[in-house]
Amino acid sequence: MNKPEHPAPQSTDDLPPPNTKRWVVRRKAAVVAAVRVGRITMQEALRRYQLTEEEFLSWQRVFEAHGLPGLRATRVQQYRERRRPRGPRLRR
């Protein structure tokens, strides 16, 4: 496993505020790192930030696999694992 590129917050005071609406790379990484080291539980993070489990787990997967660049919103499709193969595209 790669070394995390973002240190875990030392306390919950170092985490993004609960009313965060704009999820930049470093905020996502801070939440993932805090859960990883046990500062907060995943359930607390989901509740605090009104995230779905799927959303948080996708952050966690791409952060572990690709570090901070994987958390960029513009790179999500590039890094996201495809669950099922895509068929041919149909023209309309």
CATH number assigned to the domain comprising residue 64? 1.10.10.10
Tokens coding 46: 């989901």
What is the pLDDT at residue 72?
87
Distance of CA 72 to the CA centre of its chain: 9
Residue-wise pLDDT for 66-82, tens only, equals 899 888 875 555 555 55
Using N-to-C axis directions, what is the helix angle for 42-49 and 25-36, rounded to 10°?
A: 150
Is residue 6 included in any domain, yes or no?
no
Is residue 61 included in any domain, yes or no?
yes
- How far apart (Å, rounded) are the C-alpha atoms in residues 54 and 4? 21
- In this prediction the pTM is 0.69
Q: Which domain holds residue 28?
A: 12-79
Is residue 3 included in any domain, yes or no?
no
Residue with tokens 């505020």: 17
Q: Is the pLDDT of residue 34 over 70?
A: yes
Q: Is the pLDDT of residue 28 over 60?
A: yes
- How far apart (Å, rounded) are the C-alpha atoms in residues 68 and 24? 10
Number of domains in the chain: 1
What is the pLDDT at residue 3?
47
